Structure 1
Amino acid sequence: MLNDFYKQFKSGTDIRGVASEGVEGQSVNLTDDVVADMADGFVLWLSKKVSKKPSELKISVGRDSRISGPHIMKITTERFKRCGAEVLCCQLASTPSMFMTTVDLGCDGALQITASHHPFNRNGLKFFTREGGLEGSDIEEILLYAQNGEHPEESNGGNITDVDYMSDYAKGLCEKIKKEVNAEDYEHPLKGFKIVVDAGNGAGGFYADKVLSVLGADTTGSRYLEPDGMFPNHVPNPEAKEAMDSICEAVRKSGADLGVIFDTDVDRGGAVDSKGNEINRNRLVAVAAAIALEGNDGGMIVTDSITSSGLKQFIENDLGGKHYRYRRGYKNVIDKALELNAQGINCPLAIETSGHAAMRENYFLDDGAYLCTKIIIKAAQMRKEGKELDELTASLKEPLESTEIRYKILEKDFRACGEKIIADLTKYAEEQDGWCVADDNREGIRVSFDRDNGDGWFLLRLSVHDPIMPLNVESDSEGGVKIICDKLGEFLKTTTGLDL
């Protein structure tokens, strides 16, 4: 059982903590000793997983641009070397590329030092094997080794080698674009395209220089390509309004055909078309689904729970696919897609509205650069036919209004409190006229309303990790969100434990 100190580091299927000073009230807990113990814990876990001695392991290590990354990389690589492992030091790298080192370089395991879109002072450890990312139970086991002070034996045979794997990873994306676009100028399939990149000062700047420019695209007007772990311009997060506003502005100012944006470690992406339409959230899912269902007629698309009603209609009625609305959490949707494929169900895509998209053709790896590559390929293919990318999702019906409210749970046992509220609300909803509880919902409670009662839906659920109950509301009519919120508010007034 994890004690309170080590329990704080478990964030779903990752380890995260405070690694740098600079934010009031947040003292460093990812200390040198703690990081070293976690690195040793990974060696013990990996050794058991692949049935090799620690001295026989081959482990790659990469990092995003945040300021504590180089220091944590030095600690972890030295700990891996200390037990005799062969260590490949990949320096600044994307999270998806680190998984690919297990495929292309034969690594037994990989470590990416990242805290995704979180503030500059935070950092974390994200692990991979050839089978993909770790499960929550694996993270607990690694943390238990650290908590209990268990360490692998020391060995003198270890070594650390610097490897520029990001260049090889970028070349792989280039080859994919050349092959699938199959332009007359084969080496420059993006000649005549203007594509701008917003990397948010994270690890995604390589995409402009090592992919797009190499293939002939004009990337003038790209923003924040230089890594800067203080993130001085905007949070590198495609879900954040300021980030999407930035890439939209870059597209408009430069007159680009397309804009792409990544989060800090490039496992998420988003885009903007030439007309300034955001290819984000539901529209991103729609574009990815349209691409993934090519050659997979009737295939299943797994999404998170907060996707719109219009998206479901688009996938099932316009694309001829099937929509499996699942739970929030990128690992949840990926694991469900793997499960469905194992059952013989054709499922080519698992995607969250956050921008995590994992395609079966790419090892079900959530890779923002791969997703944007597929979008660019589709744009180039459509241009050959005299079409524009926005035509792909022209029939997608999007809500007129939408909002998200995040209620804090005040009780210590926040999960029990949230589960009780959901159970009580389900019973309440079933007794109300005009409330239709969704029969395909797999997280929290989702209720739809007809045109006379708000013309939309709400979803109330528990946050994956935090003492929060997010409420998502959408409506197809003006003023509908308020009507739905007012109806739900009558119930919420009767609850205890929520900060309303």
Structure 2
Amino acid sequence: MNQSETKALEALQNGSDIRGIAIATEKYQITLTDERVEKIAYGFAKWLKEEKKVEGRAKVAIGHDSRLSAERLKTALIKGLTYAGIEIVDVGLATTPAMFMATQYEDYNCDAGIMITASHLPFMYNGLKLFTKSGGAEHEDIDYIVAHADKSFLDKNQHSGKVTNQDLLSTYAADLTDKIRAGITDAADKMRPLQGSHIIVDAGNGAGGFFAEKVLAELGADISGSQFLEPDGKFPNHIPNPDNEEAMASLKKAVLASGADLGVIFDTDVDRAAIMDKNGESLNRNPLIAVISSIILKEKPGTTIVTDSTTSGHLQAFIEAKGGKQHRFKRGYRNVINEALRLNENGTPSEIAIEVSGHAALKENYFLDDGAYLIAKILMTYATLRKNGQDLPDLIADLKEPAESEEIRLNITASDFKTYGKEVLADLLTFVEEDEEMELEPSNQEGVRVNTSGSLGEGWFLLRMSLHEPVMPMNLESDEAGGIQKVKDRLARFFADKVDLNM
């Protein structure tokens, strides 16, 4: 490969994924071209053989969400992989968690899986998420794949791979259904343990519509009022994203209009989820973490809940009151998952890794980032709560919520944004040390987290570097109305001379 093409491939790396522009618009040119995807397939084949030590003829499942560019990218992938002698299982419409399960189900027995998705990003984007039997690819794995993205790295193969088709999503849905039935032990009707419940799904025209029809309805739930279940890569109703205000407002409207007991929303590829209760109150972000933590801690007392760095201080108090421990780590779903794995390996039991964005991975489920399994786990407890005249909000009645919360994204215009960001954080440490109403959080893994008091009000703020962009997000929470503005006014003096940092 020439140097410019190597750089173009490297630019497609997004942490542990591949992402780029797959549909041209007035503003964007295609970066995820057929040729580049085919080359990534060569690098993937080389990686499977040399790094993952897959012997013989490898077998790889390929699936996609509802994006319009999915079929084009799949064709390019299949061209590259079959050239490398790999057997392909084309599973069609799928979810990211289901693609990993293709490496676990005996009926599939795949060595690896590739999910074609760009998660919640707008329609013109697409990308690749890569799996083997041991889990998702890491950043360094993508480095290797990109570095070997060329035919020349492959041994000449005498036989091209073949392509077969299987309905993975139905297999995955049946597996979830069986697990929910097994988890609801006190149901009068073992096959329909959610009978009498009215639960709706908002799939946002992503890949999550199956959960209403192939899981909830099979379990006896009334799913009338569910919306946007049909896959549509134009995302005509709203972005499929539980962390998006418009999407959550849409779910709230549907819950209240249908009189549902519960609403569920997924992102495009179903590795994230959130819940809405019957009153239209969101069980998302910190409340969602509190709900699943309450359930997990009842089953596994004393376990450590690994979260990202932006969770509320009140969540920590809630988890500790339930007898657990919270371990705040860095943003990024691979980061929190890997930290939970590390804790377990070092003798600290951790049953779940979860971000405020809705990414959740449970130890009992391969530490797989799986929004559908998260909802399935919650439904097992939900059914028992309803039988006893209770509801999910009762699990978190003791969770204190801040009066205000806000996230600000500050753009770095300096050419070397990483160095500049580090300098800003170092300067902030000095600024905080000189302010009597600000105190550094002693246990912090990312950026600078500060607790506020006195005239600033009880609360906290966190300034950190974005994982991949020239951006410094700042999260703020306060227990009093107007508290955030007081903190921002105090920080205005600090930001005044940061000429390469602006909103």
TM-score when scaled to structure 2? 0.96
Equivalent in 269, 282, 285 of residue 265 of structure 1: 269
* CA distance in structure 2 between the aligned counterparts of 1:114 and 1:402, rounded to whole angstroms: 31
Equivalent in 296, 306, 311 of residue 307 of structure 1: 311
2:400 aligns with: 397
Shift of 1:434: 1.2
Q: What SS class does the counterpart of residue 376 from structure 2 fall into?
A: helix
* CA distance in structure 2 between the aligned counterparts of 1:478 and 1:60, rounded to whole angstroms: 52
CA deviation profile, 1:296-316 (whole Å, cap 9, x unmatched): 111100000110111111011
Conserved? CA contact 2:273–2:374, under 8 Å: yes
Residues 1:385 and 2:407 aligned together: no
Equivalent in 221, 227, 252 of residue 231 of structure 2: 227
Amino acid at match of 2:48: L
**299-308 or 4-13: bigger deviation:** 4-13
Amino acid at match of 1:17: G
Shift of 1:383: 1.3
Residues 1:286 and 2:276 aligned together: no
Q: How does 1:138-287 map to 2 (within 5 A)?
A: 138-146=141-149, 150-182=153-185, 183-287=187-291
Amino acid at match of 2:291: V
* CA distance in structure 1 between the aligned counterparts of 2:157 and 2:20, rounded to whole angstroms: 27
Distance of aligned partners of 1:414 and 1:148 in 2 relative to their CA distance in 1, 3 Å threshold: farther
* CA distance in structure 2 between the aligned counterparts of 1:225 and 1:201, rounded to whole angstroms: 5
Amino acid at match of 1:74: T
Q: How does 1:80-99 map to 2 (within 5 A)?
A: 80-99=81-100
Amino acid at match of 1:255: G
* CA distance in structure 1 between the aligned counterparts of 2:353 and 2:470, rounded to whole angstroms: 26
Q: What SS class does the counterpart of residue 264 from structure 2 fall into?
A: strand
Q: What SS class does the counterpart of residue 50 from structure 1 fall into?
A: coil
CA deviation profile, 1:333-385 (whole Å, cap 9, x unmatched): 00000000001111001000000000000000010000111111111011122
Shift of 1:452: 2.5
In structure 2, the gaps of 5 or more residues are none
Amino acid at match of 1:178: R
Q: What SS class does the counterpart of residue 374 from structure 2 fall into?
A: helix
1:429 aligns with: 432
Shift of 1:418: 0.6
1:46 aligns with: 48
Conserved? CA contact 1:77–1:89, under 8 Å: no
* CA distance in structure 2 between the aligned counterparts of 1:425 and 1:101, rounded to whole angstroms: 47
Conserved? CA contact 2:39–2:151, under 8 Å: no
Distance of aligned partners of 1:45 and 1:435 in 2 relative to their CA distance in 1, 3 Å threshold: same
Equivalent in 129, 134, 159 of residue 132 of structure 2: 129
1:488 aligns with: 491
CA deviation profile, 1:32-83 (whole Å, cap 9, x unmatched): 1111000111010011133235x61011101011000011112212322222
Amino acid at match of 2:39: D
CA deviation profile, 1:223-281 (whole Å, cap 9, x unmatched): 10000001010011100000111111111000001100000000000011112110101
Conserved? CA contact 1:292–1:359, under 8 Å: no
Conserved? CA contact 2:67–2:123, under 8 Å: yes
Distance of aligned partners of 1:3 and 1:89 in 2 relative to their CA distance in 1, 3 Å threshold: closer
In structure 1, the gaps of 5 or more residues are none
Q: What SS class does the counterpart of residue 271 from structure 1 fall into?
A: strand
CA deviation profile, 1:84-143 (whole Å, cap 9, x unmatched): 222111100000000011111221111000000111111111100111111101101111
* CA distance in structure 2 between the aligned counterparts of 1:138 and 1:165, rounded to whole angstroms: 25
* CA distance in structure 1 between the aligned counterparts of 2:455 and 2:500, rounded to whole angstroms: 31
* CA distance in structure 2 between the aligned counterparts of 1:155 and 1:72, rounded to whole angstroms: 25
Paired residue total: 497
Shift of 1:496: 3.6
CA deviation profile, 1:178-215 (whole Å, cap 9, x unmatched): 11113111110011000000000000000011000111
* CA distance in structure 1 between the aligned counterparts of 2:52 and 2:109, rounded to whole angstroms: 12
* CA distance in structure 2 between the aligned counterparts of 1:92 and 1:20, rounded to whole angstroms: 19
Conserved? CA contact 2:410–2:471, under 8 Å: yes
Distance of aligned partners of 1:155 and 1:212 in 2 relative to their CA distance in 1, 3 Å threshold: farther
Residues 1:36 and 2:38 aligned together: yes
* CA distance in structure 2 between the aligned counterparts of 1:6 and 1:436, rounded to whole angstroms: 44
* CA distance in structure 1 between the aligned counterparts of 2:152 and 2:411, rounded to whole angstroms: 36
Percent identity at matched positions?
A: 47
Distance of aligned partners of 1:394 and 1:451 in 2 relative to their CA distance in 1, 3 Å threshold: farther
* CA distance in structure 2 between the aligned counterparts of 1:413 and 1:17, rounded to whole angstroms: 23
1:415 aligns with: 418
Conserved? CA contact 2:42–2:150, under 8 Å: no
Conserved? CA contact 1:197–1:261, under 8 Å: yes
* CA distance in structure 1 between the aligned counterparts of 2:423 and 2:496, rounded to whole angstroms: 14
Amino acid at match of 1:284: L
TM-score when scaled to structure 1? 0.97
Q: What SS class does the counterpart of residue 193 from structure 1 fall into?
A: coil
Q: What SS class does the counterpart of residue 103 from structure 1 fall into?
A: coil
Distance of aligned partners of 1:286 and 1:152 in 2 relative to their CA distance in 1, 3 Å threshold: farther
